[in-house]
Structures are given as structure tokens and as C-alpha cells.
Amino acid sequence: MRQHRVRTVRRLARAAVAASAAAAALTFGFSAPSQAADPSLREVAESTGRFIGTAVNDGLLSNGTYSDIVSTEFDSVTAENAMKWEAVEPQRGQFNWAGGDRLVQFAQANDQLVYGHTLVWHSQMPGWLQNGSFSNSELRTIVTDHVTTQVSRYKDKVQRWDVVNEAFNEDGSLRQSKFYQQLGASYIADSFRAARAADPDAKLFINDYNTETANAKSDGLYRLVRDLKAQGVPIDGVGFQNHLIVGQVNGQAIRQNLQRFADLGLEVAVTELDIRMRMPSDSSKLQQQARDYRAVADACLAVSRCSGITVWGVSDRDSWVPDVFDGEGAACPWDENYRPKPAYDALRDAFVAAGGDPGDPDDPDNPGDPDPPTGDCSAAFTVSNRWDTGSVVSVTIRTGQALNGWRAQFDLPAGVNLANGWNGAFSQSGRTVTVSNAAYNGTVSAGGTISFGFQTSGGAAQDGTRVSLGGQECAAG
Ligand code: XIL
């Protein structure tokens, strides 16, 4: 089975990715044969409908080795620092978008999602904000203006935002940040509302650490997001940082905790995964680290609403860990010399093991699942952003009858390629793109809607393109 999946994934792989993987192999002189021969992390992740991301230091993108790994292995990027308040608004009202823009351009050139990090956080605030004294109403305006300005700047370019970061104390109470001290808990709801108003299509997250398993802190977070949802505050997801320690990872506890948040109807994601060890590293620590990475990945992949995994740094050379945790390090999937570690293989194995089996139409023994039946459907195919060589499309299909698994198809203009999709498993053959449900959105009630989105490369898609569902053409909707 594993062999078949790998072959299928490879068949679907775009030539461009294969070419750049080969180039990367040449550049690094990889000794691990698996690196050049096997599909990349992003290829195996895409076959599961989940994303695989990394924190990116945009200053390193001029380093060819670094940027080759980021573009070849990941389909999502998070700014490690460039989108934080101190970087974006160093003086009040003066914005510096250079680092964020560079990352967004890189992502568009490489058909990647962008995970925006972070809008409202007690740490890495600019001095004028940290040290300034403001009336409560002035501070409220400062917060909502900041959220509005930044989310508007990246409207349709950033698909997910950590709107509020690290709002909790370890005991589950709200942290006494400047925001909480002056505004109370309402700063959280206000920030989400401002973000939603600025970009209705971006998914809005609250993000924290030490919340990976059930404990006092994650219980506090759980109560907050449950209440926010009940009050109609526009929150879509919860991010779990996962800054973990080798040998102290309980995959089952992580899965159960992700599931209880998912059961609130929220998306969940692993947002900052790294697993550190006491230095120096040795092969048994690296093997244990691989098992720990696998456990976290398996936990996410077992939860249908877990949309993806972001690692916090590509290599041990770029990681924040040694600067912050005395005597610890080696927390990333690549080593100091950008060679993949056992943790890298473990991550890839987890995606391969979780990969759906899309079948191979050329293989008479396994032609893939037949199209599930559908009733009447209508579909809106909307190009929300376009540029010279690409576009972003969102598709919403309303189905007349309940579905348990679905498959949608449409054609792109000649020469336009599917680059990267979300909320579905994507493949392209000639001009025709096929999208099947992701693990978490296959069940749709009669009259319910299916939503997915994607980016194109090589040109823009056409607004209003006709879509079929289960082989039946949908009315324009
Ligand atoms: C870290 C960065 O990796 C460092 O470069 C920076 O000096 C400090 O912040 N939780 C978060 C991240 O939400 O933004 C932090 O990133 C790591 C902990």
C-alpha cells in the first residue's frame, strides 16, 4: 500500500517540483538517497489535504540552500518575526512591510499558503506601545487599528492569522498583559472582529503554548474559545505551538486534546513544532526525536479538523531554541548543515501513512473510488486575487443532497496550473482539476455547502468557471 501511495503521489507531482528537488539535491550533495528519490514533504502532505509549513526568517531567503528547502519541502510559510507588531509598526503610525512583503512574494512565487503571525501579543511589542501610557479607549483603538491595517494589507494573501497569541497564564487565567490589564478580556473579541471585517476570507486563530495536552492552561483556553463561539465572535481555529522536549511527548494526549477543541467546530493546527534535546545530540536522542515528531504528526493527522503542521524553523542552524533554552538545541527536522534528520523522515512517513488513496485511473486493479452521487448543485467559482503569473480562487458549492465524500471537477485555461490547494485533496490532469474532500469536510448535509480554495501558477483562472460535482455539472451560483 505504501508503495502504491508513493507512486500515486509521484504521478501527481508537478514537474517543476521534481526539477527543483533534483536541483536541491545537487546543491546540498545530500547523502541520504531518500531525499532525492522520494516525494517531498509538501507532496505527501498535499495528498492528505493538510498543509506542511515552516517558520521563515525572511533574511535567510537569499541563502539558496535555505530557500530551496523552504520552497521544495513546504506549502505554507509563517513569518518567524517579520509580521510581529515591533517589526511592522516600529513607530506609531509608521509601518514597515518589507519583511512581510518579501515573505508573501516568496510564497506566491512558490505556490505556498501564508500563515500570519501574529497580531496581538504581549511580547515583541514596539517600545512606543510597551512603554507608552494610553487611556483605555485610546488603547482599544490602537489595537483594532493595528489589526485592521495589517490584515487589510495582506487581504487575500494571508490565509490564516494568529490574531491573539499567548493570552493565557499556566493556571488557565488570562495573562496580565497591557491589553488585559486595561481592556479586560474584551480585547480578544474586539481583535477577532476587526480581523474578520478586514478580510472575511482569512481564518482567524488564537494560538498558545503548553496547551498541547489537557491541563489547567488548555482548559482555560477551551472555556474561552467555547464562549467566544457561543457569543458569535468570529474565531475559526486554535493553534497549538508544540515547543516540546525529546522523550516527553505523549501523542495520544495531544490527539485527544486536539479532538476536544475540534469538537467545538473549530479548525485546529500545530503551529510552531520543534522538539528540543539537551546538547550534544547523539543518535539515540535523534531516534527518540523522530518518534516524537511522528507522534505529533500522527496526532494531528488523526483529527480530521487538524488542517496542518508548521515546524518552527527549518534547521538546527536557524532555530530559536539555543538562544532561549540554555544547553538545549537540535530541535528541527534538518541539521546544522541542512541535512535531513530522522525527524524529517518521520514527518514524511506520517503523511504517507495518512495519505488518502486517490487510486490510479491507469491501474485496472485500483481505478480509485467512483464518484459519489449528488443531487442538484450550484457552484460559485470566484477569483479573489490575480497577478501576472497566478491567481487565488475560492469555490463554494451548494449541494441538494447529503454527501458522505465528494469529488468536484473543473477546467483551467490552457497553460494554467494548479499550484496549491486547501480544504481538499487536489490533482490535475491536462486542464482538468479534480478535488476530493479532505478528511474533515467530506460530510455535507442536504442544502449544505462545500468550500475549498487554491492557487494557480502560469496564469490566472477565470471567474465563473463551471464546476461539476460527482460528474454532474452545477448551476452557476
Ligand atoms: C520566537 C522567534 O523564533 C525568535 O526569533 C524571536 O527572537 C522570539 O520569538 N512563541 C511564538 C513565536 O509565538 O513567535 C516565538 O518566536 C516562539 C514562541
For residue 323 the three cell numbers come to 538562544
Q: What is the predicted pLDDT for the residue at 362?
A: 54
pTM for this entry: 0.74
Domain covering 377-476 assigned CATH 3.40.50.720 in the classification:
no
Kindly list the distances between the CA atom of residue 395 and the CA atoms of 284, 383, 433, 452, 468, in Å, as whole numbers in the listed order. 47, 9, 13, 5, 11
pLDDT tens column, 322-347: 999 999 999 999 999 999 999 999 99
Residues of the chain with pLDDT under 70: 1-37, 356-375
Ligand 1 mutation target, pool 57, 58, 80, 117, most atoms within 8 A of CB: 80
CATH 2.60.40.290 residue window(s) in the chain: 377-476
Give the number of the atom of ligand 1 that is nearest the alpha carbon of residue 55: 3
Specify burial of residue 319 (Cβ count, 10 A radius: 0-12, 13-18, 19+). Answer: buried
With a 6 A CB cut-off, is 81 part of the ligand 1 pocket?
A: yes
> 272, 328, 336, 473: which one is catalytic?
272
Taking the centre of ligand 1 as the mean of its atom positions, its distance from the CA of residue 217, in whole angstroms, is 19
Ligand 1 mutation target, pool 272, 275, 325, most atoms within 8 A of CB: 272
pLDDT tens column, 61-84: 999 999 999 999 999 999 999 999
With a 6 A CB cut-off, is 320 part of the ligand 1 pocket?
A: yes
With a 6 A CB cut-off, is 210 part of the ligand 1 pocket?
A: no
Q: What is the predicted pLDDT for the residue at 438?
A: 87
Active site residue 272: yes
For residue 140 the three cell numbers come to 482599544
Output the residue whose Cα is nearest ligand 1's atom 3.
320
With a 6 A CB cut-off, is 165 part of the ligand 1 pocket?
A: yes
Helix (H) or strand (E) segment spanning residue 42: helix 41-46
Ligand 1 mutation target, pool 83, 123, 310, 314, most atoms within 8 A of CB: 123
Q: What is the predicted pLDDT for the residue at 11?
A: 30
For 7-355, CATH number? Answer: 3.20.20.80
With a 6 A CB cut-off, is 241 part of the ligand 1 pocket?
A: yes
For strands 407-411 and 468-469, give the pairing: antiparallel
**Cα 232 from Cα 253, distance rounded (Å):** 29
Kindly list the distances between the CA atom of residue 445 and the CA atoms of 380, 400, 404, 405, 406, in Å, as whole numbers in the listed order. 18, 9, 9, 11, 12
Beta-bridge partner residues of 240: 208, 270
For residue 471 the three cell numbers come to 460528474
CATH 3.20.20.80 residue window(s) in the chain: 7-355
Whether residue 161 contacts residue 204, with contact meaning beta carbons closer than 8 Å, is answered with: yes
